[in-house]
Amino acid sequence: MFKMGESVVPDMPKTMEVVCTDDSCEFDMAGLHFTYDMPDDTGVDAFSCPYCGGDVAEIEV
C-alpha cells in the first residue's frame, strides 16, 4: 500500500556529462542518460566521442 510521502518512482538511472579529450575536436560536451538495464559499473571508458571517435572524459557540471 502507498503511504503519504513515499516515492512511487524507482531511482533514476545514472547520468554522466562528458567532453572529448582531443583539443582539435569540435565536439563540446554531451550528457549521457543511462537506461535501467545498463550495468552499474559502466563508466566513461565504455564511450567514445561521437564526432571524432576519440576518448572522452567525465566532467562535473
Along the chain (61 residues), what's the average pLDDT of each consecutive run of 10 residues? 62 87 94 86 92 95 82
56 forms beta bridges with: 20
φ and ψ of 33, to 5 deg: -115, 110
Instruction: Note the pLDDT of residue 46.
Output: 93
Where are the chain's structural domains?
Answer: 15-59
**Which residue bears the cell 531511482?**
11
19 forms beta bridges with: 57
Contact 21, 57 (CB under 8 A): yes
Evaluate if pTM is beyond 0.85: no
Q: How far apart are CA 20 and CA 58, in angstroms?
A: 9
Instruction: Note the pLDDT of residue 37.
Output: 86
Instruction: Note the pLDDT of residue 15.
Output: 87
CA-based angle 43:9:14, to the nearest 5? 10
Instruction: Note the pLDDT of residue 39.
Output: 87
Instruction: Note the pLDDT of residue 33.
Output: 87
